[in-house]
Structure 1
Amino acid sequence: MAHIDLGVQESEFPGIRGPLRFRPETGRPLLDLVEVLLRGPHSLTAGERELIAAYVSGRNECTYCCSAHSAYAAAQLDEGMPLVDQVHADPDRAPISAKLRALLRIAAAVQVSGRDVTADLVQAARTEGATDLEIHDTVLIAAAFCMFNRYVDGLGTLPAADPGWYAQASERIATHGYLPVLDR
């Protein structure tokens, strides 16, 4: 049970969905940010950006966000959940591009501390073909998901009880995006 009364049935609005509904005036800008970062036009695919979010959430041990964004990434990557699981287990051995591997190293550094992102990590990503926009957005996705993970866990919200919930949510996200979350 959440630490505060969010005014919703937690089983119907697990994880971040309850807090977003509790305070929609802060929820809307958060959803706007996620929509731009994870679904907006970009040289990284939506699946790759979701994978970065899932990876950071897993490193932060945020069950809801890791489960949700892993499902969202899997739904948008040809290799599906097996690839997502491989990235969580060992991104250095996962069958991903060298560029994405370098970006995940940057995301991992951000998860520890923004100051852990070094010029060497950035140069390694550039060497693998990452653009300044991709590096910027990787840092911002990682930083934002550190905040989202702390928001979810800090309020003590519960993950979805039914693992199938994440698959259904991934269909909604892929079709309609993040913004309708407050409308449902």
Structure 2
Amino acid sequence: MAHIALTTDEPGIRGLFRFRPETARPLNELVEVLLRGESRLSRGERELIAAYVSALNECKYCYSSHAAYAAAQLPEGMELVEQVRAGLDAAPVSAKLRALLGIAASVQRGGREVSADEVAAARAEGATDVEIHDTVLIAAAFCMFNRYVDGLGTFAPDDPGVYAARAKRIAEDGYLALLRESQEGSEV
């Protein structure tokens, strides 16, 4: 049971967005830009960064959601997401993505944990300043989202199918389309 009286039984951040819709729009706009906007990183790779940080923070709802969203947009699907979660060093990802995920893990521990050596290593693997910037911002944003969801005691469904069903809609329509539907009263 959530720590506050929510106006819906929707899980995780969805219930919080319904509770305070005026905060939902700017937060969804940020996620739309970071995870779906123009980038040399694929949408699946950016969702993987969000899922990885959420796993490190042990946020069940955010991990389960963004793992499903990443899997829906990566050719290797959930198998790759789970391999990254199980151990970044052994996961079959590009050297550039491994370096960026390492930066994201440092951000998760604390912003000052990101070292010049990590950034140089990411650059050596072909990461651009925009990719490094966006990785840090995705990691920082998901630390906030994880704390928001867990700090208010929202619930996370156990059924992976709940997250997979929503993943297709996110992959096709994005975060803002679902927000509009939600605010218009449609089921999402």
TM range (shorter): over 0.9
* Superposition pairs of residues 6-25 of structure 1, within 5 angstroms: 6-9=6-9, 13-25=10-22
Structure 1: tracts of 5 or more residues without a match: none
Q: TM-score, normalised by structure 2?
A: 0.94
Query: How far does residue 41 in structure 1 lie from its aligned partner after superposition?
Result: 1.2
Task: Give the alignment partner of residue 53 of structure 1, picking from 47, 50, 53.
Answer: 50
The verdict on how the C-alpha distance between 1:161 and 1:94 changes in structure 2, with shifts beyond 3 A counting, is closer
1:99 to 2:96 alignment: yes
Query: How far does residue 159 in structure 1 lie from its aligned partner after superposition?
Result: 0.6
Q: Which amino acid aligns with 1:5?
A: A
Higher mean C-alpha deviation, range 97-106 or range 156-165: 156-165
CA distance in structure 1 between the partners assigned to 2:118 and 2:94 by the alignment? 16
* Superposition pairs of residues 77-88 of structure 1, within 5 angstroms: 77-88=74-85
CA distance in structure 2 between the partners assigned to 1:85 and 1:174 by the alignment? 19
Query: How far does residue 179 in structure 1 lie from its aligned partner after superposition?
Result: 1.1
Structure 2: tracts of 5 or more residues without a match: 183-188
CA deviations 1:36-74 (Å, max 9, x no partner) are: 000111100000000000000000000000000000000
Query: How far does residue 163 in structure 1 lie from its aligned partner after superposition?
Result: 1.9
Other-structure match for 2:186: none
Task: Give the alignment partner of residue 142 of structure 2, picking from 120, 140, 145.
Answer: 145
Task: Give the alignment partner of residue 108 of structure 1, picking from 94, 105, 108.
Answer: 105
Q: Which amino acid aligns with 1:48?
A: E
Other-structure match for 1:26: 23
Q: Considering fraction of residues, name the structure with more helix.
A: 2
* Superposition pairs of residues 31-50 of structure 1, within 5 angstroms: 31-50=28-47
Other-structure match for 1:63: 60
Q: Which amino acid aligns with 1:72?
A: Y
Q: TM-score, normalised by structure 1?
A: 0.96
Q: Which amino acid aligns with 2:82?
A: D
Q: Which runs of 4+ in 1 moved over 4 A?
A: none
Aligned length: 181
CA distance in structure 1 between the partners assigned to 2:158 and 2:173 by the alignment? 23
